[in-house]
Structure 1
Amino acid sequence: MPTSPSSPTRFKKRLPLGWIVLGSISLVGLIAWMLSEGAALSVSTNTPTLFKKGTQTPLVTASGYIVARTRATLSSKVLGRVAYLGVQEGSLVSKGQVLAKLESPDIEASRNAIFSQVHQAQQDYDRSATLQKSGFESPANTERLLSQLNTLKAQLAYQDALLESMTLKAPFTGIVTQKLSEVGETVAPGSAGGANAINAILVMADFDTLEVEVEVSESGVGKLTPGMATEVRVDALEKKKDSSILKGHLRAIYPSSNRQKATIIVRVALDQKDPLLVPDMGAKVTFLGAPYQEDVLVLGREQVYRDPQTSESFTWVVEDGRATKKSILVLNAENPLGYEISGLIPSSQLIIAPPDNLKPGQKVTPKRL
């Protein structure tokens, strides 16, 4: 088949264009590779937690809330309308102080009527007793009058008790934390105790008995003993440098378990208190054991990795501006705050949550949290 004389000419014109395109793609790839190699990856870092020699060993940590050991929800004994309320939230009250009164005009009127009857019955009995001594009155009539007098006195005592029940007094010295009723509202005896009392008037607590209630796992309770030292961290005090950690001790381990959660309630008494503490604040408790015999470094469990080939433990650190897999030795995995390790120095820059594509020797820019 004859070849067109123009075909070699077209081939010669297309060949340089193909090489140019191929060369351009290679050059772009080379530039991208050089840029990726030269760019530093930004990573978040922190340092290991250092426990100095003599610091007590943390055994168990648990979260809970500030509670008052002495706390009461106050309601009336009888149905009535609130006529007087002498306190507000935050009021400091003393034991026996009158907090509220219910309207009681009908009871007062009934009491006054019975009081008059008692007064008259007393006079009748005294007159009859005098006449009996003179022989002008029969003993039977005197005994009848005495019986009437005693009956009226009992009715008067009952009316006094009703009037007393219309007055609400503080059962102990403390602070009013909630006011649940206002003047003019009708209240009734609470049909449920504690914070669930229906138609309650006030809630008060003794702030001198504030403590922490936490739920400890059943596996961790075996490490606890009554009286052991604790550290309490309250969320509301985190910004206070001098009192962010409060000292306390284990007061009681409740003799019951939550079947669903597999936890046991533990109460921690506060040896140190802060004016900012109020019931229901969140808190975290660390139960402390024996002191460390030497300085110890602790890493978070998420910062310790295991090499699948050698089964050795390592962590990612920043050295000379590059990511490095640093071999470490786990000394104790039972510390609730993390792993006690060796192989690092306190100033080591640990990489937090390293990306999956991070490679040893890769350039990184540390960003301290």
Structure 2
Amino acid sequence: MQTRALRTGGFDLLVSGLLAACLLTLCGCTSDRAIAKKEKATHVVPVKTVAVETTQVQRSTLQPATVHAFYRAEIRAKASGFVKNLQADIGDYVEAGAKLAEIDVPEMLMQRQVIDKRIERLIAEEQRGQAGVRLAEARVRSAQALLAEASSQMAGAEASLAASQAEFDRTEDLVERGSLQNRMLDESRMKRDSEAARRDAMASSIESAKAEVAVAEAQVVAAQAASDAAQAETEIERSQRQEMDALLDYATLRAPFAGVVTQRNLEPGDLVRQSNEVGRGQPLFVISQVDRVRVRIAVPEAEAALVNPGDEVTLTFPSFSAAQPIVAAVTRTSGSLDPSTRTMLVEVELDNQDGKLLPGMFGQASIHLDSKVAAQTLPSRAIRFDEEGNGYVYVVGEDETIARADITTGLDDGNSIEVLSGIEPGQRVVGPHLKRFSDGQKVAVLPN
């Protein structure tokens, strides 16, 4: 029993020793952390400060910008055939109306020859019709002459009849008195009746001549109608020839305006087909006018109403990072928002005689929206924003300790931001700095 008691006492001593060692270790760790925390608390971060100041600010919007050709035309075929002559390639500068390529269209040339022959035949028919008109008019004149002659003879016959009738009346009176024999009355009657018959014959001749005139005049009308029909047919064929000439002209692809060939999608010998739908398939050529370009900017809805033609625009392009920004003016606005993007299209026209601005180039456009106004501002990099977009600054007190202050911001010109509330003019705040600070933290203010 004594031996058991000794063993138990030894075990207790061992456990007590281990516990004491652990306590010493924990105490040492706690002491080290406290020391480190104390050293950290006493570390002073050097900072530079800026003060709220009154400056002139101008509201602007910074948006992506894209260069576009002033005019861009897609050249497509209006005639079908094989490419027989290619006269332009990409990068070539062409004048308005310059030939780009020619399409071989033998079928259309044959159709034009057929139209030419039809026109020749119709011209011959037209000439024959005019000759028929002249012949019919001559017949009218002849019939009118016969009518005039018959009318003249009719007048003579009527005069003779009147004379014969007067002689008959006198003879009859003398016979009744017994001064003349009945034989003389019979002779006078026969003469009168003969003149009456001649007068009736002349009347028939007049009616026949009138009928001849009417027939001849109808022939003139018919001949003139035939001639007019031939002329109309000739005009129709000439119109068809003009249409064919226009189609043949389409076989020569021409530049619609002076510009640069930016695309060529055909080779000599290619079969091209007439394009009936605009925008369907690849164009044969693309011509772009680049001596003057359009810079297009999509302005968000919130600022679209503030953009007006004439507003100042500053353009920068990564391709010319070392060059001075281009200062221009808004040329025009679309005046409406794109429903899909809720943005308004703004265009700026620029001279590009040196050809440096290429269609498709990307850049940045800063549009000045309002006139300059006096405002309390801070440098843009001195203002921080939290996850919700709220602005705040680190105010440096007289004892050089930090105090976070929430602020309300206003206009932003890209360099300075207007401070509407949250701090007072003249207060110092931490300038651009990567470190986050906590309230009460000590800093060392460096001279500016």
Compute the TM-score of the two structures, normalised by the length of structure 2: 0.59
Please name the residue that 2:290 is paired with: 207
Q: Kindly indicate whether the alpha-carbon contact (under 8 Å) linking 1:180 and 1:200 is maintained by their aligned counterparts in 2.
A: yes
Please name the residue that 2:89 is paired with: 88
1:287 maps to 2:371? no
> What is the rounded CA distance, in whole Å, between the counterparts of 1:212 and 1:98 in structure 2?
30
Structure with the largest fraction of helix: 2
Residue type of the alignment partner of 2:74: T
Q: Kindly indicate whether the alpha-carbon contact (under 8 Å) linking 2:76 and 2:284 is maintained by their aligned counterparts in 1.
A: yes
Residue type of the alignment partner of 2:293: L
Please name the residue that 2:433 is paired with: 350
Please name the residue that 2:189 is paired with: none
1:263 maps to 2:346? no
The superposition leaves residues 169-217 of structure 1 with CA deviations (integer Å, 9 ceiling, x where unpaired) of 111111222223444042332513xxx3434212222113322222223
* Higher gyration radius (CA): 2
Deviation at 1:346, TM superposition (A): 11
Residue type of the alignment partner of 2:360: D
SS at match of 2:434: strand
Unaligned segments of structure 2, at least 5 residues: 139-219, 420-424, 444-448
Residue type of the alignment partner of 2:257: F
> What is the rounded CA distance, in whole Å, between the counterparts of 1:78 and 1:294 in structure 2?
66
Residue type of the alignment partner of 2:63: A
Residue type of the alignment partner of 1:333: G
Deviation at 1:125, TM superposition (A): 7.1
SS at match of 2:67: strand
User: Does the C-alpha gap of structure 1 residues 312 and 168 become closer, same or farther in structure 2, counting only changes over 3 Å?
Assistant: closer
1:163 maps to 2:248? yes
Aligned-pair Cα RMSD in Å: 4.9
Deviation at 1:163, TM superposition (A): 1.0
> What is the rounded CA distance, in whole Å, between the counterparts of 2:231 and 2:391 in structure 1?
98
Counting aligned pairs with the same residue, the percent is: 17
Within 5 A, what are the aligned runs for 1:21-40?
Answer: 21-28=22-29, 30-31=31-32
Please name the residue that 1:367 is paired with: none
Among 281, 299, 323, the alignment partner of 2:380 is 299
Q: Kindly indicate whether the alpha-carbon contact (under 8 Å) linking 2:129 and 2:227 is maintained by their aligned counterparts in 1.
A: yes
Compute the TM-score of the two structures, normalised by the length of structure 1: 0.69
User: Does the C-alpha gap of structure 1 residues 315 and 236 become closer, same or farther in structure 2, counting only changes over 3 Å?
Assistant: farther
User: Does the C-alpha gap of structure 1 residues 223 and 314 become closer, same or farther in structure 2, counting only changes over 3 Å?
Assistant: same
Please name the residue that 1:334 is paired with: 411
User: Does the C-alpha gap of structure 1 residues 100 and 203 become closer, same or farther in structure 2, counting only changes over 3 Å?
Assistant: same
Q: Kindly indicate whether the alpha-carbon contact (under 8 Å) linking 2:304 and 2:344 is maintained by their aligned counterparts in 1.
A: yes
Among 310, 321, 325, the alignment partner of 1:227 is 310
> What is the rounded CA distance, in whole Å, between the counterparts of 2:312 and 2:442 in structure 1?
46
Within 5 A, what are the aligned runs for 1:1-369?
Answer: 4-28=5-29, 30-31=31-32, 57-115=58-116, 150-183=235-268, 184-192=270-278, 196-237=279-320, 240-243=321-324, 245-270=325-350, 275-288=355-368, 289-291=370-372, 297-299=378-380, 303-304=384-385, 313-315=392-394, 332-335=409-412, 337=414, 339-341=417-419, 348-351=431-434, 354=436, 361=441
Aligned length: 342
Range moving further from structure 2, 199-208 or 167-176: 199-208
> What is the rounded CA distance, in whole Å, between the counterparts of 1:76 and 1:51 in structure 2?
66
> What is the rounded CA distance, in whole Å, between the counterparts of 1:323 and 1:190 in structure 2?
77
SS at match of 2:346: strand
Unaligned segments of structure 1, at least 5 residues: 364-369
> What is the rounded CA distance, in whole Å, between the counterparts of 1:225 and 1:143 in structure 2?
63
> What is the rounded CA distance, in whole Å, between the counterparts of 2:266 and 2:27 in structure 1?
81
Deviation at 1:118, TM superposition (A): 5.2
Q: Kindly indicate whether the alpha-carbon contact (under 8 Å) linking 2:382 and 2:430 is maintained by their aligned counterparts in 1.
A: no
> What is the rounded CA distance, in whole Å, between the counterparts of 2:395 and 2:271 in structure 1?
66
